[in-house]
């Protein structure tokens, strides 16, 4: 795939100071929004020297046109009756701010796209949409430990307008190049406009959630088998770590339900009516994976409780054994202690059978106590 050049950060103009209404769940707010104290951009993973613009292409009637710079792509798309798909990877505030001038992006959405760390949401700014999706990948590991990283998350932000779609990716996974190649082979879908790209991105993200949930389920089954195996194991640390990792996946999946439902059910200007059925399909998949993740979380909770109960039962069993053996040892200790005082007038001290008689009494007491503890399950 070809990559388009982006403008130099040194010549980047500041974001426009304009007031614009955000419709939907938000009231009208002035812009730009003051940056919260201490808020910093997401830690970058972009290789040094790599450009923010991954790919830029204009599509007319489902066909990719000749390469054009990102600054000219929107004009070319409008003139040709098509749209531009601009792919960005971890752009800086200056890089995205420069492009925001050409595409008239809302400052609030630009700030969210730069600083990331957003929960899945769908915002409408005038005649444009801004959607945040969490991405996830399964981290392969030979053995699950109490410190294993199982789920790694990232983010994809999508700016959607009448003649443009801009995808901003954060994290070292969630590559969209293969998705773009597949879409370019589906001309009928690309003819539906920028909303088709938003659908494809959302569908890819949700399908990835399904794969990750399936891989995590294998780890859950492994821990379940370990907890209920005959041998004694200590799986509490591994269970807790997997539950923490599953929480990351749950935070990425659960909030996605509301944005997808809006795209599937509500009338939105930049989303054609024909695209609603596509988003309903993605919405259905998201609901299923949400239920799967919730079920895995509940199952992990039950397994964790069972593991703690087994550990407590094992400790109680050990304490019973210790108490039983302590009781058995106490009898000969008491008898030996009494006769070890060596008083002159103690009975049987002068008898020849005294010593073996005491030994027999001690042995009989031990046998009786052992059989009693064994019968009661203490030994």
State the residue for tokens 């002035």.
30
Check residue 146 and report its DSSP letter. Answer: T
Given 293, 310, 327, which residue is the final one in a domain?
A: 310
CA distance 287 to 291: 6
Residues 6+ apart with CB under 8 A from 235: 223, 226, 227, 307
Alpha helices in the chain (DSSP H): 70-80, 93-103, 107-115, 177-184, 187-190, 194-227, 236-253, 257-265, 276-339, 354-375
Under DSSP, is residue 14 helix (H, G, I), strand (E, B) or coil?
coil
- Contact, 183 vs 190, CB < 8 A? yes
Both structure tokens of 43: 């830690």
Evaluate whether residue 3 is within a structural domain. Answer: no
Evaluate whether residue 2 is within a structural domain. Answer: no
CATH value at residue 169: 3.30.460.20
Please classify residue 289 by burial: count the beta carbons closer than 10 Å to its beta carbon, then call 0-12 exposed, 13-18 middle and 19+ buried.
Answer: buried
User: Which of 54, 213, 200 lies closest to 136 in space, CA to CA?
Assistant: 213
State the residue for tokens 């106490």.
330
User: Are 18 and 92 members of one domain?
Assistant: yes
User: Are 99 and 191 members of one domain?
Assistant: yes
- At residue 345, the pLDDT reads 66
* β-strand partners of 63: 60
Please give the model's pTM, rounded to 2 decimal places.
0.74
For strands 164-170 and 83-89, give the pairing.
parallel
- At residue 353, the pLDDT reads 75
pLDDT digits (tens, 9 = 90+) for 150-179: 999 999 999 999 999 999 999 888 789 999
Evaluate whether residue 177 is within a structural domain. Answer: yes
- Contact, 216 vs 152, CB < 8 A? no
Both structure tokens of 222: 């492994």
User: Are 217 and 334 members of one domain?
Assistant: no
User: Are 331 and 237 members of one domain?
Assistant: no
User: Which of 92, 91, 103 lies closest to 168 in space, CA to CA?
Assistant: 91
- At residue 376, the pLDDT reads 79
Alpha helices in 185-193 (DSSP H): 187-190
User: Are 177 and 239 members of one domain?
Assistant: yes
Evaluate whether residue 256 is within a structural domain. Answer: yes
Task: Pick out the chain residues at pLDDT < 70.
Answer: 1-50, 344-351
* β-strand partners of 135: 154
Q: Please give the residue range of the domain that contains residue 345.
A: 316-375
- At residue 51, the pLDDT reads 82
- At residue 339, the pLDDT reads 73
């Amino acid at each position: 795939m070809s990559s388009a050049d982006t403008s130099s950060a040194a010549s980047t103009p500041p974001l426009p100071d304009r007031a614009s209404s955000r419709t939907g769940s938000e009231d009208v707010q002035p812009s730009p929004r003051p940056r919260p104290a201490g808020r910093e951009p997401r830690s970058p993973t972009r290789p040094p020297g790599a450009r923010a613009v991954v790919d830029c292409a204009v599509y007319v009637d489902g066909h990719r046109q000749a390469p054009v710079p990102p600054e000219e792509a929107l004009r070319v798309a409008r003139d040709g009756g098509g749209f531009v798909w601009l792919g960005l990877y971890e752009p800086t505030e200056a890089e995205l701010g420069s492009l925001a001038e050409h595409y008239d992006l809302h400052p609030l959405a630009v700030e969210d796209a730069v600083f990331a760390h957003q929960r899945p949401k769908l915002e409408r700014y005038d005649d444009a949409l801004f959607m945040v999706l969490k991405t996830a990948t399964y981290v392969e590991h030979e053995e699950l430990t109490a410190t294993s990283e199982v789920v790694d998350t990232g983010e994809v932000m999508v700016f959607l307008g009448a003649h443009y779609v801009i995808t901003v990716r954060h994290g070292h996974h969630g590559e969209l190049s293969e998705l773009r190649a597949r879409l370019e082979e589906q001309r009928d879908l690309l003819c539906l406009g920028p909303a088709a790209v938003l659908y494809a991105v959302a569908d890819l993200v949700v399908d990835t959630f399904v794969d990750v949930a399936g891989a995590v389920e294998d780890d859950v089954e492994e821990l379940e088998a370990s907890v209920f195996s005959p041998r004694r194991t200590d799986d509490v640390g591994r269970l807790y770590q997997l539950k923490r990792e599953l929480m990351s996946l749950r935070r990425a999946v659960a909030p996605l339900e509301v944005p997808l439902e809006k795209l599937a059910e509500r009338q939105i200007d930049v989303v054609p009516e024909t695209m609603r059925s596509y988003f309903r399909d993605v919405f259905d998949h998201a609901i299923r994976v949400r239920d799967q993740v919730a079920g895995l979380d509940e199952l992990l909770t039950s397994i964790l409780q069972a593991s703690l109960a087994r550990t407590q039962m094992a400790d109680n069993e050990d304490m019973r054994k210790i108490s039983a053996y302590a009781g058995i040892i106490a009898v000969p200790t008491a008898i030996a202690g009494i006769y070890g005082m060596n008083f002159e007038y103690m009975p049987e001290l002068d008898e020849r059978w005294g010593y073996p008689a005491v030994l027999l009494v001690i042995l009989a007491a031990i046998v009786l106590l052992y059989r009693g503890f064994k019968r009661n399950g203490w030994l």
